[in-house]
Amino acid sequence: MNYRWKLLSILALILLGLIIYSNTYNAPFAFDDERIIVSNLKIRDFSIFKDIHSRRYLGDISFAINYFAGRLQPWHFHMTNIFIHIISSLLVGLIVGKTLQTYRFIGRYRDSSIFFISFASSLIFLTHPIQTQAVTYISQRYTSLSTMFYLLSLLLYIKARTENKIAPYILSIISAIAAMKTKEIAFTLPFAIALFELLFLRAGYQERLKYLIPFSFTLLIIPLSLLNVSQDIGNLIGDIEEASREAKHISRTSYLLTQFNVIVTYIRLLFLPINQNLDYDYPMYHSLFDPPVFLSFLFLLLIFAFAFYLLYRSRFMVHSLRSSDSRLTPHASRLTAFGIFWFFLALSVESSIIPIRDVIMEHRLYLPAFGFSILVAAFLQDVFSDRKIKIFLLSAIILALSTSTYTRNEVWGSEISLWQDTVRKSPYKARPHTNLGVSYFEDGQTDLAFSEFKRAIEINPRDANTHNNLGAIYELRGELEKAMESYKTALDINPRLAAAYNGMGVIYMRKGQYEEAIEHFNKAIKLKPAMVKAYNNLGKAYRAIGKMDKSFGALQKGLSIDPDKYPELYSSLALNYRLKGDYEMAITYYLKSISLRPRSNAPYIGTANLFIEMKRPDAVIDLFQRMERQFGKRAVIYFCLGMAYQAKGLKEDARKAYLKAYELEPGNKEFRDKLYSLKAN
């Protein structure tokens, strides 16, 4: 296959990857992204580069680089994820191509057939919708980036062995270390390399060990990253036990038995990727003789037996190249067996005896999907002799997978659509209802949010976050006693819930109990140092008791954490400067708040009031007429124009402006009262 075709195939993969993920470029942060990225102060500080002992060091470094490049703009993070996925897809094709050039396949496939299997493997890996969770869900970069280094390490190892070169071998070990410093799934890499060595490479026992033993030392990287190496041996052993058990409420036996069923579900998702779900409501099993478990166990046993049969059959390869270059089943048998073994090996870290809180997650199929891609590509090559039929079938498969991927990515377009989809598929699980409620709340749909929180509590009354969220709605409605009760319930369940302390602080502040409010805001900040809203509330509380220096300090600290996420900080600082008499600075901060959140009324009104206090109503008229051209017909813009006209004594112009504001936002009491008071006068 000439250079031109190879280059075109690479460009096609890049273009296709960008197209099928094009509707995710501006998808918001979702689910664990808040904890891992948005509220993670470590990625905002160059000191993270020094924290080399972190178990997911390179993943965190990549998030930090994105943050330094574009702060918390999601598209920076999404584009990085997409290109990691495209690179991994290219590596898949390169590995398959190198594999088909090993001694096991010499003279058995033409160059065109090698290209077909390699390119088909890359395309399937790239376009399969099961990969969306590892690509579109930003914080699952740990999975995709670790897989990229994993595949690169294998490719370099193959190159080192087949070309007898030391440089690729050293780079292979470095890449293996990188994979292991990104996510724990890379623990299986030395075993995957050993599997490849045994199935496809020719060497004596001692020569194999010479290459494999150095890789075996990389197995120490993940355990050492999980431990505090300064402890004594007794504590180390205790840490190993703790580190290998993420979910304490699930026994190892129950987790393993449930995984037999889960793996069958994974296989179904690879062959039939429908009803994908971000948060499965999956049953736990506790006995091997539960019918679903036993049947799944037998099914998986049969697949294993089939893989060994294929491996045995491949020993009798035909040593001549048939003119049709088709139906070379013995040759494909070894490749197919490798794909099956790879699938199970790649799943073994997350689907064995180590309990993980979520028993099933689709991103765990990202690395195993390599084995599936090989299997399908080898099947197409070997079963169908006609080249046109092969290309037609591959095109149909890729079209179907690409369409499914694009459609699945539509769900990730907003947090509301994502959690609505999840609630439909897991209606009896509390977490999707809670997260949908949060999405509604952040969108201003408080009644819908309230219903979702109530439903979540019915399903799981011991969810502290949901009680806290319910408290926030009660507080918004002015039902302060109910809000306080909800916050206290949340803290009874989880005494370290920062948001509940912040919520209680807000209630104390509304009641005029500022010292209690300050105490609770400080508790929230101590538990969650990146909680910007707690700094904003702390600044307000200090301002209320006249401690302006402390108020400025709290607000500036919040601003240093995240200057773009929380516009209320700018409004709070604007009010501080206004009280200080620095009107120009106050206006600057109000305008910054408007630029970050144009839908919020308060900074518009604050700006207008300031200009009027400064006896500059014409400046209000000029500014807000420009805003009208920029933002269109906004009620608050007409309201501010009305204030300016009224200040100038132009009562008829003021009445018309207030009337426009009221017509655009008839539910706004402030707009209505202003209009009626002007009429009364």
What's the mean pLDDT in 335-340? Answer: 95
Considering only CA atoms, which of 461, 462, 411 is closest in space to residue 439? 411
Confidence of residue 29 (pLDDT cuts 50, 70, 90): very high
pLDDT in tens, 178-211: 999 999 999 999 999 999 999 999 888 888 999 9
Confidence of residue 316 (pLDDT cuts 50, 70, 90): low
The alpha-helical segments, DSSP class H, found in 217-348 are: 221-226, 233-243, 252-271, 291-313, 329-347
The whole-angstrom separation of Cα 631 and Cα 456 is 38
Please name the helix (run of DSSP H) or strand (run of DSSP E) that holds residue 500, with its range, or none.
helix 498-510
The whole-angstrom separation of Cα 58 and Cα 55 is 9
Length of the chain: 681
For residue 472, what are the contacts with CB-CB under 8 A and spacing of at least 6? 441, 483, 503
Predicted pLDDT of residue 322: 43
pLDDT above 70 (res 241):
no
Predicted pLDDT of residue 244: 47
pLDDT above 90 (res 382):
no
Confidence of residue 601 (pLDDT cuts 50, 70, 90): confident
What's the mean pLDDT in 1-22? Answer: 91
pLDDT above 70 (res 242):
no
What's the mean pLDDT in 52-67? Answer: 91
pLDDT above 80 (res 20):
yes
The whole-angstrom separation of Cα 339 and Cα 329 is 15
SS3 136: coil
Considering only CA atoms, which of 573, 499, 488 is closest in space to residue 536? 573
The whole-angstrom separation of Cα 335 and Cα 314 is 9
- Which pair of tokens denotes residue 443? 């969108």
Predicted pLDDT of residue 426: 98
Q: Which amino acid is at 406?
A: Y
In this structure, are residues 183 and 142 in contact, taking their beta carbons and an 8 Å threshold? yes
Of 130-134, 325-329, 464-468, where does mean pLDDT reach its minimum?
A: 325-329
For 151-297, strand residue ranges (E) read none
In this structure, are residues 134 and 24 in contact, taking their beta carbons and an 8 Å threshold? no
pLDDT above 50 (res 237):
no
pLDDT above 90 (res 496):
yes
Predicted pLDDT of residue 681: 63
The whole-angstrom separation of Cα 6 and Cα 94 is 11
Predicted pLDDT of residue 603: 87
Please name the helix (run of DSSP H) or strand (run of DSSP E) that holds residue 347, with its range, or none.
helix 329-347
pLDDT above 60 (res 233):
no
pLDDT in tens, 406-459: 999 999 999 999 999 999 999 999 999 999 999 999 888 999 999 999 999 999
- Regarding pTM above 0.75, the answer is yes
pLDDT above 70 (res 318):
no
In this structure, are residues 394 and 386 in contact, taking their beta carbons and an 8 Å threshold? no
Predicted pLDDT of residue 634: 86
pLDDT in tens, 211-225: 999 999 999 998 887
In this structure, are residues 62 and 145 in contact, taking their beta carbons and an 8 Å threshold? yes
pLDDT above 50 (res 324):
no
pLDDT in tens, 87-107: 999 999 999 999 999 988 877
**Average pLDDT score, the chain:** 90
Confidence of residue 326 (pLDDT cuts 50, 70, 90): very low
Using a pLDDT cut of 90, give the percent of the chain over it. Answer: 72
The whole-angstrom separation of Cα 638 and Cα 657 is 5
Confidence of residue 680 (pLDDT cuts 50, 70, 90): low
* Residue 34, number of CB atoms within 10 A of its CB: 13
Q: Which of 199-213, 478-492, 606-620 has the highest mean pLDDT?
A: 478-492
Predicted pLDDT of residue 329: 52
- Which pair of tokens denotes residue 288? 């091997």
What's the mean pLDDT in 21-46? Answer: 90
pLDDT above 90 (res 403):
yes
pLDDT above 80 (res 142):
yes
What's the mean pLDDT in 600-604? Answer: 84
Q: Show me where the domains of the chain are located.
A: 73-411, 414-495, 597-681
Report the alpha-carbon angle 145-151-156, nearest 5.
125
Confidence of residue 239 (pLDDT cuts 50, 70, 90): very low
Asked whether this chain's domains 414-495 and 597-681 adopt the same fold, the reply is: yes
- Which pair of tokens denotes residue 245? 């058990």
Predicted pLDDT of residue 6: 85
Predicted pLDDT of residue 665: 86
Confidence of residue 245 (pLDDT cuts 50, 70, 90): very low
Predicted pLDDT of residue 385: 82
Name the architecture of domain 414-495: Alpha Horseshoe (1.25)
Annotation: CATH topology of 597-681: 1.25.40
DSSP structure string for 407-429: HHHHHTTSHHHHHHHHHHH-TT-
What's the mean pLDDT in 610-619? Answer: 91
